[in-house]
Structure formats: C-alpha cells, structure tokens
Amino acid sequence: MWTAIALHTTPGVPEFMEPEIALVTAAVEMDVLGIGRDDQAVTDAHPRPDFKRRILEAFTDGFKGRPDTTFGTVNADVLAHFVPGFQRIDFVEVILNSSWPE
C-alpha cells in the first residue's frame, strides 16, 4: 500500500506494477482527474459540489508546509498555482549545481 500511495502522483510508473498499485492510481485518476469517468449515474448518486476547488485547497494545505516533497511529482503544479513565491526544484539545476567535478 505504501508503494501505491507513494507512486500515485508519478504518472507512467504505477500502471506497470502490481495490480493493487495500478488500481490505486487508476482510482485517483478517475476520482480527481475524471479519467475513465463514463457513468453519470454515479455522479448523480454521489454529487460533488465544489469538489474541484475543495480538493485543490486540501492539496495545497497538505503540501505547502513541505514543498520539497513535491519534487518530481504533479504535486508541484498545485503549489506553483496556489502558493505565491513557490519555487520548484529544477531537476536540471540540481544536476548542474551538483558537487561532481567536470
């Protein structure tokens, strides 16, 4: 379960892992992003008033105190959008500024 949770914000990886890991990602993608959502009856039975704003607010509140944990995931997009002054960790800059000599 830890692996499923750790990887569900890293696109392209979980689908090639154990079925439980792939399923967690597929469920999150449907629930949050609407990928694969075909059944309006589910939405009719379980309406989601103001869901988009509320889920983004929850994400922001969860990440803003630990912004470095968003590196390499889609979570950095949330902070970039909602937290003024947020600076992404740039992978290229990490490489260029590493302590390795040339």
Residues 7-24: tens digit of each pLDDT: 888 878 999 999 999 999
Q: Which among 30, 47, 64 is the end of a domain? A: 47
Q: What is each CA distance from 72 to 23, 53, 68, 95, 102, in whole angstroms?
A: 21, 23, 9, 14, 25
DSSP structural state of residue 88:
P
Cβ count within 10 A of residue 45? 8
Q: What is each CA distance from 60 to 23, 55, 73, in whole angstroms?
A: 24, 9, 14
Are residues 57 and 99 located together in one domain of the fold?
Answer: yes
In terms of residue numbers, what domain contains 41?
A: 1-47
pLDDT < 70 positions in the chain: none
Are residues 80 and 98 located together in one domain of the fold?
Answer: yes
Model's pTM, two decimal places?
A: 0.78
Are residues 61 and 27 located together in one domain of the fold?
Answer: no
Tell me how far apart the alpha carbons of residues 4 and 98 are, in angstroms, rounded to a whole number: 30
**pLDDT computed for residue 61 by the predictor:** 97
**pLDDT computed for residue 91 by the predictor:** 86
